[in-house]
């Protein structure tokens, strides 16, 4: 990791929690992992572990490989090389324990679904094809909705909700799963300030409950600072480590292209689309 | 009043046609709902037409048409499934060609024999007024099978409609349930061709379900609307066909399509007035 000294102000005021290396077996273990589509490697040689009750943020521009890594972790994309184990087994075999929030929900617009129906889907992995939902499931579903502040929208059709309200609904779906591992792709996209606060609180609560979290994000200020580890991606691993060590100007410059200093000792990043080299 | 009831009270074949049409409407409501939600309209259309050579060959060699339709459908599903997986082009192109190819093959086979002309019309437009008890029973069985498939697979089907990736991560294999869904659509097409014909199955598959989608905020309700509107279309179509001596299958589909557009217009007017509580959440929303 590059640690050149520089006169650009470093990331926020060190809110990142201690990495607290755990002796427990890691939930995610990647060794020399290559990810990509078909035969095209997007990011080679990824090495990291994620311990229980820890969060890792993947930071990078569009096309940097964040989403690909998330999809590989949840088993939607086959890995192209190296090793990756999730809960000690290969990806795509732990449906009951993993909740995934993808970036696009293309059909959300035509589906005749109420918000509560969408959140309810979060319980499906636990019940399989036919097992009935219980009162406990319904309580968990209501709780997830109120955590995201959408309990009053439960009966409204998804398609009538604003983009931000829909995103809250998708997040509530993930929370309703009560999974051991949350894999979130751009979870704050479209959220307003209120939604963002609820989301950050929810992630904290999930970590407290014992879950681990992988987040692909642009938000280096709050979201990444919440994480125990940060990985900067630009079609290669630029840096990996604790937020206060990684979120430095030169590493960010390499990841995003441009770094600008801002007020109040906060670092602001202007994203430039990363070239596919 | 008499105008509405007598045709059915006085004619056994009209009652039989109504029952058959109702069963087809229910089957089409269930399958059509997922056709609409998953954007499979084109695949549904291709399936409807792709079964033609199977039917033609079956009739040519003296087997029941429904058997030929089943074989044609299996071939089509296999082809579509292969194309969807392998195609780096838009799969629409390849599916379109498969469907046009199968349709041409069917028409070619049919054109071999002069005695086929009457059959061709009945294959394309159905013979709902000449439907036998046996065919009605087959339809009943098929409709029950379709309902059972949809019931058992309701969770994976819902997830597939919502987001195929979400289904996969939740442990419901995309490929398996996608193919089960295609199979369900195929069964619908096969049993329905005797009633409304291969050309028009498509209309009954998407017009009532499309109207249902506009009218409901739950998938079950959408299916119920689709079944109801499909049955209504069958009834009105039969009535029109009886009184004005018009082709029954075509009349049914035309009514279904007209109902869709009526619902479409009404909903567009109504939706402008509905208020959604954006204020329930604090702050303003992006977008």
Are A270 and A185 found together in one domain?
yes
Residues of A with Cβ-Cβ distance to B156 under 8 angstroms: 129
Are A189 and A92 found together in one domain?
yes
Tokens, residue A212: 């681990």
- Residue A120 resides in a domain: yes
- Residue A18 resides in a domain: no
Mean pLDDT score of chain A, rounded to an integer? 82
Rg, chain B, Cα only: 20
Assess contact for B52 and B75: CB atoms under 8 A: no
Most confident of A198-202, B44-48, B121-125: A198-202
Are A125 and A231 found together in one domain?
no
Question: Is there a contact between A107 and B217 if contact means CB atoms under 8 Å apart?
Answer: no
pLDDT at B280: 43
pLDDT at A214: 96
Among candidates B152, B212, B222 on the partner chain, residue whose Cβ is nearest the Cβ of A129: B152
pLDDT at B77: 84
Are A87 and A220 found together in one domain?
yes
Please say if the pLDDT value at position B56 is more than 90: no
pLDDT at B69: 87
Among candidates A76, A162, A194 on the partner chain, residue whose Cβ is nearest the Cβ of B287: A162
> What are the tens digits of pLDDT across the range B220-236?
999 999 999 999 999 99
Q: Which of A111, A128, A151 to mutate to test the interface with B (most CBs of B within 10 A)?
A: A111
In this prediction, residues A195-210 reach a mean pLDDT of 94
Taking alpha carbons only, the member of A246, A183, A189, A182 closest to residue A220 is A246
Are A77 and A187 found together in one domain?
yes
Output the furthest CA–CA distance in chain A (Å, rounded). Answer: 60
B161 and chain A in contact, CB less than 8 A:
yes
Expressed as residue numbers, the domain containing A163 is: 102-178
For residue A3, the distance in angstroms to the closest alpha carbon of chain B comes to: 37
Higher pLDDT, B216 or B286: B216
Question: Is there a contact between A112 and B168 if contact means CB atoms under 8 Å apart?
Answer: no
Q: Which of B155, B175, B209, B270 to mutate to test the interface with A (most CBs of A within 10 A)?
A: B155
Taking alpha carbons only, the member of A26, A181, A24 closest to residue A96 is A181
Vertex A165: Cα angle to A108 and B226 (nearest 5)? 35
**Residues of chain A with pLDDT > 70: what percent?**
82
In this prediction, residues A6-12 reach a mean pLDDT of 35
Residues of A with Cβ-Cβ distance to B169 under 8 angstroms: 74-76, 95, 98-100, 125
Are A236 and A248 found together in one domain?
yes
Are A217 and A92 found together in one domain?
yes
> What are the tens digits of pLDDT across the range A126-152?
999 988 999 999 999 999 999 999 999
3-state secondary structure of A36: strand
- Residue A43 resides in a domain: yes
A239 and chain B in contact, CB less than 8 A:
no
Tokens, residue A83: 């090793």
Alpha-helical regions (H) of chain A: 66-74, 115-120, 124-127, 135-147, 163-177, 193-209, 223-226, 243-246, 249-256
Q: What is the pTM of this model?
A: 0.84
Please say if the pLDDT value at position A86 is more than 90: yes
Number of domains in chain A: 2
Are A261 and A188 found together in one domain?
yes
Are A187 and A276 found together in one domain?
yes
Burial pattern B113-129, b for ≥16 Cβ within 10 A else e, equals eeebeebbebbbbbbbb
Taking alpha carbons only, the member of A215, A272, A252, A249 closest to residue A61 is A272
For residues B72 and B22, give the distance between their C-alpha atoms in angstroms, rounded to a whole number.
25
3-state secondary structure of A50: strand
Higher pLDDT, A167 or B50: A167
Q: Kindly tell me the burial class for residue B154, based on how many C-beta atoms sit within 10 Å of its own C-beta (0-12, 13-18, 19 or more).
A: middle
Residues of B with Cβ-Cβ distance to A195 under 8 angstroms: 281, 283
> What are the tens digits of pLDDT across the range B233-286?
999 999 999 999 998 888 999 999 999 999 999 988 887 665 555 544 444 443
Please name the helix (run of DSSP H) or strand (run of DSSP E) that holds residue B186, with its range, or none: helix B174-196
- In this prediction, residue A266 has a pLDDT band, given cuts at 50, 70 and 90, of low
Q: Which of residues 142-161 of A touch B (CB under 8 A)?
A: 149-150, 152-153, 156-157, 160-161
- In this prediction, residue A245 has a pLDDT band, given cuts at 50, 70 and 90, of confident
pLDDT at B275: 53
Among candidates A100, A153, A194 on the partner chain, residue whose Cβ is nearest the Cβ of B282: A194
Are A185 and A275 found together in one domain?
yes
The DSSP symbol for B281 reads S
The DSSP symbol for A9 reads P
Please say if the pLDDT value at position B85 is more than 90: no
Domain boundaries, chain B: 2-267
pLDDT at B283: 40
Burial pattern B38-54, b for ≥16 Cβ within 10 A else e, equals bebbbbbbbbbbbbbbb
Please say if the pLDDT value at position A190 is more than 70: yes
Are A106 and A90 found together in one domain?
no
So what's the ipTM on this one?
Answer: 0.82
Query: Regarding the domain delimited by B2-267, which CATH topology (the fold level of the hierarchy) does it fall under?
Result: ABC transporter involved in vitamin B12 uptake, BtuC (1.10.3470)
- Residue A17 resides in a domain: no
Among candidates A102, A118, A160 on the partner chain, residue whose Cβ is nearest the Cβ of B165: A102
Tokens, residue B241: 């066909």
Are A78 and A122 found together in one domain?
no
């Amino acid at each position: 990791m590059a640690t050149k000294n520089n006169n650009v102000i470093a990331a926020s005021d060190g809110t990142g929690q201690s990495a607290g290396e755990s002796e427990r077996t890691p939930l995610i273990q990647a060794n020399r992992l290559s990810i990509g589509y078909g035969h095209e490697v997007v990011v080679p040689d990824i090495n990291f572990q994620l311990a229980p009750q820890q969060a890792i943020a993947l930071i990078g521009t569009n096309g940097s490989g964040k989403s690909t890594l998330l999809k590989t972790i949840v088993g939607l994309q086959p890995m192209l090389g190296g090793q990756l184990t999730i809960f000690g087994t290969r990806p795509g075999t732990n449906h009951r324990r993993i909740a995934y929030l993808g970036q696009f929900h293309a059909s959300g617009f035509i589906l005749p679904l109420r918000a509560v129906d969408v959140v309810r889907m979060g319980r499906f992995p636990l019940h399989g094809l036919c097992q009935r939902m219980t009162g406990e499931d319904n309580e968990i579903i209501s709780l997830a909705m109120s955590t995201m502040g959408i309990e009053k929208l439960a009966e409204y059709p998804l398609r009538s909700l604003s983009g931000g309200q829909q995103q809250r609904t998708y997040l509530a779906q993930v929370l309703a799963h009560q999974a051991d591992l949350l894999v979130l792709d751009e979870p704050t996209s479209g959220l307003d300030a209120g939604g963002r606060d609820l989301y950050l609180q929810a992630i904290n609560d999930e970590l407290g409950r014992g879950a681990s979290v992988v987040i692909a994000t642009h938000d280096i200020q709050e979201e990444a600072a919440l994480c125990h580890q940060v990985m900067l991606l630009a079609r290669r691993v630029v840096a990996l480590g604790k937020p206060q060590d990684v979120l430095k100007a030169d590493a960010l410059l390499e990841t995003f292209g441009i770094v600008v200093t801002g007020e109040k000792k906060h670092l602001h990043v202007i994203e430039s689309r990363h070239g596919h080299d | 009043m008499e105008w509405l009831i007598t045709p059915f009270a006085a004619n056994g074949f009209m009652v039989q046609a109504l029952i058959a049409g109702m069963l087809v409407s229910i089957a089409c409501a269930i399958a059509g709902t997922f056709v609409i939600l998953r954007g499979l309209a084109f695949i549904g259309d291709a399936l409807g037409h792709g079964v033609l050579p199977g039917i033609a060959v079956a009739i040519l060699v003296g087997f029941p048409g429904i058997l030929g339709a089943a074989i044609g459908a299996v071939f089509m599903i296999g082809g579509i499934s292969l194309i969807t997986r392998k195609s780096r082009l838009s799969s629409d192109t390849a599916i379109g060609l498969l469907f046009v190819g199968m349709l041409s093959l069917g028409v070619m086979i049919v054109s071999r024999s002069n005695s086929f002309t009457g059959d061709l019309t009945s294959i394309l437009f159905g013979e709902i007024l000449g439907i036998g008890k046996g065919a009605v029973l087959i339809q009943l069985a098929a409709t029950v099978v379709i309902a059972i498939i949809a019931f058992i697979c309701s969770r994976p089907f819902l997830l597939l409609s919502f987001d195929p990736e979400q289904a996969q991560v939740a442990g419901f294999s995309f490929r398996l349930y996608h193919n089960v869904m295609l199979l369900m659509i195929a069964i619908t097409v096969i049993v329905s061709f005797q009633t409304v014909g291969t050309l028009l199955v498509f209309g009954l598959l998407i017009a009532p379900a499309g109207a249902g989608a506009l009218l409901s905020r739950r998938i079950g309700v959408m299916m119920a609307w689709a079944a109801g509107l499909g049955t209504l279309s069958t009834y009105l179509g039969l009535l029109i066909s009886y009184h004005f001596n018009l082709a029954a299958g075509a009349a049914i589909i035309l009514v279904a399509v007209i109902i869709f557009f009526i619902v479409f217009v009404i909903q567009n007017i109504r939706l402008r007035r509905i208020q959604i509580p954006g204020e329930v959440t604090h702050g303003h929303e992006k977008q």
